[in-house]
Each structure stands twice: as structure tokens, then as C-alpha cells.
Structure 1
């Protein structure tokens, strides 16, 4: 039987599981992502599947863009479902998580990677910066409810708003690690350039340009003459168009696209905060995010076993993971 036929049938099963699994898991102490990784690992035990499972290093660009796609779609959904107006006091818990907790997490993980894994400063900082943000995709189960659903208690709001911004705000530290590696260490680093470009400029471009795009598209969606309003279409996939447009324009302007997408979503929501079309766009983004997440995590589970990704695992790396998850993150 052709591999293509098996892949098509498997994708059909995956789509059905995307709809059914969340209902089944509500009564169990398991999350959808955990099940997806487990399914992928179990499938890779089948010789035919293991034979076509490549090592991730062979497809780095594909993996990079696929994971980016899931994150930006998740960021759009997160921005659309936040009911609370942005503000210094109203978002105080978010600013503390981003300005205090995340840098401390990066510092702790960098120190842990340096001492336990023996990594150099640049590699340790890169690892710490990558692991510090709360993932908006995997955190979706504990975020606020649908737009205007009144399920926005403080912990859920904090997790949603922080997850919307922290991936983008971790990029300056990722770029710092890259600059350290390229410059040969602290001596060759231009701190003024890093702060001016990677911190101030890229964050500002992402936030401002994303907000402008969101407001402009919000006007087209809700405030054009009645027959021309995009909201009259009732199509939820407009959210995907807003996501791609905001990400592409902000990245082309040398800003952080993740911040741009989240800012665009917040601005779009503020254009007509109580309109029911936000629910339509959010639901489409959420369903697409869940489907893409399942595809990626099933693939991740497969490459863990069948692709040989676990072959390089050492006890030091396993201990690092346990300390990061059970000590650093909770603290």
C-alpha cells in the first residue's frame, strides 16, 4: 500500500480525534498535548511508520515555520478572547510576570544549563530564553473563555495575557545569545546596538504597527457602510487573514511578528468590543490551532522514538528538565 494513502487515512483519524479527544479528556487528568505526543510515540513503534520518520535536523526550516504558524494563530485567538481593556493597572499582574518573573526564569535556566549541562554562556542563554516563555498553545486549556463569556478571573487572565506577549518579549534575549555566539563572547558585544535595535526598536515596531493594522482591519470589518462590512460575511477565517497580514508586515518592517499579531488581535477586538463576530473569528482560530497542534505534536512524539531524537538524552539533560519543570517554573 502506498505511503500517501496511509498518510491521508492517518490525517483523517487525526482530524476526528481533534474533535473527539477534548470531550473524552475532560474527565481524565490528561491534556490533549500529552495524548498527542503519546500517540505519535506509539505510532513510531510500527516499523512502517518508523521507516518514514526522519530526524528533525533534516527539516529545520519546515519545523521552524510550522511551529511559528501554530504560535501566531494561537496568539490571534488569545488576543481576541481577552475582554479586559489594556492598561498599566488593569494588566499589573501581566507586567509583573513579563518584567520580573520571565527575566528571573531566563537567568535561572541559563545558570542551570551552564552548570549542569556544561554549556557556554551563549548556548545556555539561548536555551534559557527559549524555555522561559509560557507557551500560548499548550496553555490554552487554562486561559480565559470565549470572547464576552465572563470567565476572565485573575489567574486565567494572567496566563492568557502573559502568553500573548512573552514569546515576543523573549526574542531580545534569544538575539542576545546569537550576538554573543557571533561576537565571541561579552567582549565583542555591542550592548548599545542590542538594546536600541533588539529591545526598543523591534518591540516598538511590533506593538505599534500591529495595533495600527488591527485598528485598520477592525474599521474594515465593523465600521464600513453596511453592505461592505467584512463582518457580514460571517466567515471565521478572516482571523487567519488578519494573522498572516499582521505577522508578514511586522516581520518585513524588522519588528517582532509575535508581538505584532497579539497587538493586532487586541486592537481588532477593541474596534467593536461587544460584536458577536469576534466569537466567530476566535472559534475558527481555536479550531485551526488545535488541529495544527495535534499534527505537530503527533509528529514530535514520532520523532522522539522513531526519529531517534531521544538517543542523545543524558541523565544531566533529564535532570535539567525535571528541575526546570518542577522547581524553576513553579517558583
Structure 2
């Protein structure tokens, strides 16, 4: 019997080495040419694609079109942590006037984006109506994970420029608010384009009930968690232990319980972060908790981006010029134009309005929504959707990632 060679390269260990090398290089290489925070996200995707093509004996990840569950679970956890972190970053909610740009982005820009992308999907790529609605919903939200460079700083830092405040609060809330349109795509795929049969139920259940329950559960969860962390027992409160694990457990508890009562968990965890931040606002635990959750978010994001890059060659096998046209139109025309329209007659100046309109990066949330939809209904356009969404994430991280530092520097000189 022939013995195994001493050096037997397992695919799993090769993958660990590749992921480690890619993450280090993606954060280190930009430092050689710039002192700004490195634009690591696009590099991790690109290096992951190179590794997937050329590294021999590397463990192959499951195709998200065939096996969506692992992708769905990891992206879901990443978005949950990011949404909670976005809520935690906001030091001051008042005056309420500062929320006007956010509300207009949510109420005007996002529906316009969904409609325009869906229309393009039908007209240019020949998608079904259900597939086009899903595409619009998947690509409309600003991603809370990859938009960190344009968000406000950590708690108690005070860097809350109106542009950063708008982009942070938009990213924190629009992931949950895109869910009704995901459900709309699922309903149309299952029952057809017959709103007289399901329209009122969709409005009552998927738009109103789930959203309201998400807000209420997030507020209640924040109050309860704040009570546990800062109030009882007197003289030996949990916040003094600096254990972020307790608060993270509260986040997943809030998310899971909200989903059990059919509310939007994404809305709940964002509201949880906003609510918890109002309790003992000057306590150092808020900064420690933010740093703890941010580290988890960055670790999960790195793994997901490298993984996405490694499967992009498979997803791009079905890429067409129609996909390129739709992706570029979304990033360069639809998002900027819809944002500009939404922010008209607000207090934001032209330069601020332009930055908010342009820097709506797409990313991890889109992966989750597409996996979620694919695990519930079989779409005839699923292959096209994955090719297009993969391209949009790649182009968005490249275009936004390599220019965001310059844009933020320009804001400082206003």
C-alpha cells in the first residue's frame, strides 16, 4: 500500500492561505501609493477572481445559483451586524430637519431606482416582469457594509457632516425598506401580474405590517438591551465588563424574534442601534461595542468579497452587453439622477447633493436578497440576474471605492 506523500496540499488549506494573502494584499498595497484609507473591497473581489481562475488545487465554493443557502446565511449575518453598526454611529438624531434628505432618498430615490432598473431589465435584457421587479429591489438599496467610507465616524467622534449623516441613515434603513419589493417580485412570479388579486394583501402585510413591526421590535429591543446593559444590577452593570458579545447576542435576538413575528429584521436591528445609542450616550461602552461589531463586520465582509470574486468567472460566463449597459446606466445615470431629483429643495448644496446622489454603493445586501429570492421561488431569469448583480457589485466597488477618498476630501474644503 502506497503511503500518502508528506506534503499533501488539501484544497481547504490552500483556500485559507489564498484568502489570507488576498486580504493582506488588498489592505497593504494601496498604502504604497496613498495615505488614505485603502480601497480594499474592489481589490479583494479582483484578487479573488484571479485566484479562482489560476490557483491550482483551491477549494471551489458552491455556485450561489445552485446552492444559495451558505451565501444567504453569511451575507445575512454581515448585513445584520452592519445595520446595527450604522445605527450605533449616529450621535445626534436632532434636529429632525436633518432627516429630510434621508426621508426623501428613501421615499423618492429608491422607488425611482427600482422602477427605472425594472424597466431597463424588461426592455434591454428581456427579463420577465417578476425578474425585473426583483432586479430593481435587489439593486436599489445603498449597501450598509461597503458604504463605510462615506458614513459618519464611530460613536462620540462627532464627524456627522450632513452628507455622511444622510448616507449612513439611508444605508441603515433602505435595506429593510427594499424587502416589500422583493416580496412583490416573489408574488408576481408565483401568482402573475394580477394586482387585483394580491395588491391589498401586499400593501397591508408586506409594506405596512412588516415595516411597523420591525420599527417597534427594534425600539423595544433597544430599550430592553439598554436596561440590561446599563441599569441592573446597580453597581455592577454589564456595560462595565466591556463585553461586546452580550450586545451582539441582543442584536441576533432582536433580529430573530422580529422575523418570528413576520416583521422586517433589517429595520429592527437598525432601529435597535439607533435606540441603544440614545441610552447613556456618553458611556465608553458605545465606542467599544461599535469597534467590536465593526471588526466582525470587516472579517465577514472580507471572506464574502473574496468568495464572490472566486465565483465571478462562473457567473460571468452568461454575461452579455445588455448586462454591461444596465450596470453602467444604474451606477452612472439612474442612481445619481434619482438622488438629485429626491434632494431638490433640501438644505444640501449642489456639491453635497452630488456626493449623496453618486455614492450609493451596491454590495453584500444585493447578494443576500438574490439568495433569499432564489431559495423561495425558481426564477426563469436567475442566471441573468446573478450575472448582472455580480457585475454591478464589481463596477460599483471599483468606481466608488477608488474615488470616495477624493470626494470626501472635497467636502472638507467646502
TM-score > 0.5, shorter chain as reference: yes
Does structure 2 retain, via aligned residues, the 8 Å contact 1:116–1:316?
A: yes
Structure 1: gaps spanning 5 or more residues: none
223, 248, 253: which one aligns with 1:240: 248
Does structure 2 retain, via aligned residues, the 8 Å contact 1:14–1:295?
A: no
- Asked if 1:169 is matched to 2:173, the reply is no
How far does residue 186 in structure 1 lie from its aligned partner after superposition?
Answer: 2.3
Structure 2: gaps spanning 5 or more residues: 1-8, 338-414
| Separation (CA, whole Å) in 2 of partners of 1:260 and 1:304 | 32
How far does residue 250 in structure 1 lie from its aligned partner after superposition?
Answer: 0.5
The alignment partner of 2:78 has SS state of: helix
319, 332, 341: which one aligns with 1:313: 319
Aligned to 1:328: 334
| Separation (CA, whole Å) in 2 of partners of 1:157 and 1:181 | 37
Does structure 2 retain, via aligned residues, the 8 Å contact 1:136–1:163?
A: yes
**Alignment TM-score, normalising by the size of structure 2:** 0.75
Distance 1:47-1:26 versus aligned 2 partners, 3 A rule: closer
| Separation (CA, whole Å) in 2 of partners of 1:11 and 1:243 | 28
Aligned to 2:279: 271
Does structure 1 retain, via aligned residues, the 8 Å contact 2:14–2:57?
A: no
CA distances 1:200-235 after superposition (whole Å, capped 9, x unpaired): 100011000111011110111111233441101112
| Separation (CA, whole Å) in 2 of partners of 1:2 and 1:310 | 27
How far does residue 49 in structure 1 lie from its aligned partner after superposition?
Answer: 4.9
Distance 1:58-1:119 versus aligned 2 partners, 3 A rule: closer
Aligned to 1:3: 11
* Bigger shift: residues 242-251 or 77-86: 77-86
Aligned to 1:105: 113
| Separation (CA, whole Å) in 1 of partners of 2:319 and 2:47 | 21
CA distances 1:175-220 after superposition (whole Å, capped 9, x unpaired): 1111111112125642111111001100011000111011110111
Aligned to 2:203: 195
How far does residue 285 in structure 1 lie from its aligned partner after superposition?
Answer: 1.0
Aligned to 2:75: 67
Distance 1:223-1:20 versus aligned 2 partners, 3 A rule: farther
Aligned to 1:126: 134
Distance 1:235-1:12 versus aligned 2 partners, 3 A rule: farther
Aligned to 1:82: 90
